């Protein structure tokens, strides 16, 4: 038995010039990883037949599976399907199931007749196996050459994901796949280098088949152990033993021992305690609310938000005193405490978070430079405050502040 490797090729000039961000390859890699297929390479190329040929020639020598996305649209710049037809020595034929799908989409969903250009989407090389696209008009196509499987899918993420969902069972039957295990710890309040010092001896003694990855992001660091093997029980036992050791070493900084986001952890904590939360946001502009409501079921604990960006709204909706703003400024401990009190009274929730700061690039002073943020979190009876100093550009300052605010709230609830 051998490990199965995949290469991912994303196609489109728009990817190379940065007009469109490639999210497809990351999503596909995650899905393949779950079933034990390791992604060996990810490549972006333009809408160019010569580049496609070169990429397929090289990757077919190195990978068992080659996934392609993009270039399957009905316009003249979408050349992937014609290229694949020539590359695999086929000829174009109409796939009746794909034709019916195109007609259905336009007549029943789009409420207009399909043009001749649209109907051409149903043409596929006669040397491929068709995977019907239930979310769009361009079908997926499976080709085989020697020992390599090639799969071409649309570049539209929603359509690609639909085809991948059908492709996964096919791949599981086609290949004898190992069991793959990930164990993840989310830490906060400590940097990557400091963590590395704490677990240096642990890392040195890790079995060769287990990999440790440091994944820093937004003031947090994920530690991920990964291994795979064909003996499922033995492989799981080995990684679980190592994971228990790792947890004990970083227990002080551990947020969760699951692959979860900070907002998921806080949401579960609120649901467990049957409590609600609201937010009063100035500098984060609703980002904290967005993170909380990105979780399905958040209506069970999230009540709402007041985005009090101006001092006027802080006064009129949150009842922050004018004297407080005049004497201490909008970015101050006194202001966020009054924002929190006003929020809890206004929205009548169990917990609240209030944030005010200077995200940049302008607006800073020697006393309060760009990146200065005050956060308050708590209840009507008790609260905590924390001043933080961010050092990034505006967008990242907002994102880091939002996650840190959630963590302050999480720790407050646990300590309470």
* 80-87 and 49-62 helices, crossing angle to 10°: 60
Q: What is the pLDDT of residue 1?
A: 67
195-254 per-position pLDDT tens digit? 999 999 999 999 999 999 999 987 799 999 999 899 999 999 999 999 999 999 999 999
pLDDT in tens, 300-311: 999 999 999 999
* 302 vs 148: CA distance, rounded Å: 49
Q: How far apart are the first and last CA of the chain?
A: 53
pLDDT at 164 over 90: yes
| 8 Å CB contact between 26 and 112 | no
Does an H or E element contain 128, and which?
A: none
Residue 403 contacts residue 366 (beta carbons within 8 Å): no
- Tell me the H-state helices in 151-191: 157-174
**pLDDT level of residue 352 (50, 70, 90 thresholds):** very high
Q: What integer is the mean pLDDT of 399-413?
A: 96
Domains (range + CATH), the chain: 4-174 (3.40.980.10), 179-256 (3.30.70.2860), 262-415 (3.90.950.20)
Strand order in the sheet with 254-256: 211-217, 220-229, 179-188, 254-256
pLDDT score of 52: 96
C-alpha 376/C-alpha 304 separation (Å) is 17
| Confidence band, pLDDT 50/70/90 cuts, at residue 76 | confident
pTM equals: 0.82
Query: Exposed/middle/buried for 169, CB within 10 Å: 0-12, 13-18, 19+?
Result: exposed
Task: Tell me the C-alpha distance between 35 and 28, whole Å.
Answer: 11
Rounded to an integer, the average pLDDT of 61-70 is 96
Question: Is pLDDT above 80 for 261?
Answer: yes
Q: CB count, 10 Å around CB of 1?
A: 8
pLDDT at 54 over 70: yes
Please state, in angstroms and rounded to a whole number, the distance separating the CA atoms of residues 331 and 329: 5
Q: What residues contact residue 65 under an 8 Å CB cut-off, 6+ apart?
A: 4, 5, 6, 7, 32, 37, 148, 149, 150, 151, 171, 175
What residues have CB less than 8 Å from 274, skipping those under 6 apart? none
């Amino acid at each position: 038995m051998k490990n199965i490797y995949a290469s991912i090729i994303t196609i489109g000039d728009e990817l190379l010039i940065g007009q469109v961000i490639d999210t497809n390859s990351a999503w596909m890699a995650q899905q393949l990883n779950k079933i034990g297929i390791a992604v060996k390479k990810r490549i972006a190329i333009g809408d160019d037949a010569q580049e496609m040929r070169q990429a397929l020639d090289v990757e077919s020598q190195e990978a068992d599976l080659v996934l392609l996305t993009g270039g399957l649209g009905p316009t003249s710049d979408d050349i992937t399907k014609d290229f694949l037809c020539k590359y695999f020595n086929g000829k174009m034929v109409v796939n009746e199931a794909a034709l019916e799908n195109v007609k259905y989409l336009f007549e029943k969903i789009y409420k207009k007749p399909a043009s001749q250009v649209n109907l051409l989407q149903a043409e596929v090389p006669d040397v491929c196996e068709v995977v019907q696209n239930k979310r769009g008009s361009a079908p997926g196509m499976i080709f085989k050459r020697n020992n390599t499987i090639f799969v071409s899918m649309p570049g539209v993420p929603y359509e690609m994901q639909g085809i991948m969902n059908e492709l996964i069972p096919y791949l599981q039957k086609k290949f004898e796949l190992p069991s793959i295990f990930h164990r993840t710890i989310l830490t906060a309040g400590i940097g990557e280098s400091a963590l590395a010092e704490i677990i240096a001896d642990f890392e040195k003694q890790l079995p060769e088949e287990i990999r440790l990855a440091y994944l820093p992001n937004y003031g947090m660091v994920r530690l991920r152990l990964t291994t795979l093997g064909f003996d499922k029980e033995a492989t799981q036992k080995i990684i679980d033993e190592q994971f228990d050791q790792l947890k004990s070493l970083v227990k002080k900084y551990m947020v969760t021992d699951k692959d979860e986001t900070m907002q998921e952890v806080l949401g579960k904590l609120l649901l467990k305690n049957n409590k609600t939360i609201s937010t009063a946001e100035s500098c984060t502009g609703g980002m904290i609310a967005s993170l909380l409501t990105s979780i399905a079921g958040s209506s069970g604990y999230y009540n709402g938000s007041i985005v009090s960006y101006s001092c006027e709204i802080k006064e009129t909706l949150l009842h922050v005193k004018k004297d407080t703003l005049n004497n201490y400024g909008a970015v101050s401990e006194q202001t966020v405490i009054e924002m929190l009190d006003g929020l809890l009274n206004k929205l009548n929730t169990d917990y609240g978070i209030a944030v005010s700061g200077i995200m940049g690039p302008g607006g800073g002073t020697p006393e309060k430079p760009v990146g200065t943020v005050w956060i308050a979190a708590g209840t009507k009876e008790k609260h905590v405050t924390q001043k933080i100093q961010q050092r990034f550009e505006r967008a990242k300052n907002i994102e880091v502040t939002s996650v840190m605010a959630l963590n302050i709230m999480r720790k407050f609830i646990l300590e309470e």
